Structure 1
Amino acid sequence: MKNDIASIADVQLFVDEFYAAVGRDGVIGPIFEAKLQGNWTPHLEKMYRFWQTILLHEHTYSGSPFLHHIKLPIYKEHFELWLRLFHATIDKHFEGAVAEEAKSRAGKMAVMFEAKLDYLRNNPDTVPLV
């Protein structure tokens, strides 16, 4: 039996492994690389805080993640791939209520981001709200 996500070390493990998989991926890796330009550390540290806040209820993150994605060339297929990699990473290391919450939250976030991006692309005069 695998342990559940219970500490910042667990969060760092899945974030590091997930983004390593993203970076190796031939479809979404180049999108992240173009945005981060080889400097993944600030993004990883932000993701530690984001998931620590969401999953461990330790409020270390503030911000609007969606705003960082507005100008990226990402579409449904990118979100589906991102989500598959995320689920695979979580399932490789963890099981339990918090692991399921991580996958659920990631899924909701992917659906929301995709819908907002689609709306903004179809309504270019709209000013995005956070």
Structure 2
Amino acid sequence: MAMEKHDIKTREDIELMVRSFYDKATRDDLIGYIFNDVMKVDWPKHLPVMYDFWDSLLLEGTYKGNAMQPHFAINKLVPLETPMFQRWLQIFEATVNELFIGETADLAITRARSISEIMNFKMNIINHPEQQKGNIPLVNPGNQNG
């Protein structure tokens, strides 16, 4: 019989959500290799950091790290592109919806959407700077015909 869903209320709930998410993400055809082959994640070290991160976003945690910095490092090795962030979010939402229901579960999905959008935007500025040139007036002082 399936477990009855409840809201995310405890550190144990956070840990279940994070472990379940990474279990799926590491086996995913699109993004799994980033965790397994590119970063070769040290899970006993990484998972507690992720527990703290999500605990601080959803409950009462005290995460003090910089979530963006490691992703800039990954992005130098493998460009993190929009479809990767979409898949990350798809897996995250499916994991939360599979395990939990309630206000904090909804908040987890809202926060994940924001994180995905912000990281995708920042990585794409780095990966595709030419897309940003349309916003900057071009000045060429060396070409003055006058």
Q: So what's the TM-score if we normalise by structure 1?
A: 0.88
Greater Rg by CA = 2
Q: Give unmatched runs, 5+ long, in structure 1.
A: 125-130
Unaligned 5+ segments in structure 2 are 131-146
Q: Which amino acid aligns with 1:67?
A: Q
Change (3 A) 1:38 1:115: closer
CA distance in 1, matches of 2:37, 2:80: 12
1:64 equivalent in alignment to 2:70: no
Q: In 1, Cα distance between the equivalents of 2:11 and 2:39? A: 23
| 1:13 aligned partner | 16
**Runs of 4+ with >3 A deviation:** none
2:119 is equivalent to residue 113 of structure 1: yes
Q: Does 1:94 align with 2:96?
A: no
* Count of residue correspondences: 123
1:15-68 deviations in Å (ceiling 9; x for gaps): 001000011111100011134425222111110000011100232x11111111
User: Identity over aligned residues, as a percent?
Assistant: 33
Please give the root-mean-square deviation of Cα atoms over the aligned residues, in Å.
Answer: 1.6
Does the 8 Å CA contact 2:93/2:109 hold for their aligned counterparts?
yes
Q: Distance in 2 between matches of 1:112 and 1:12?
A: 24
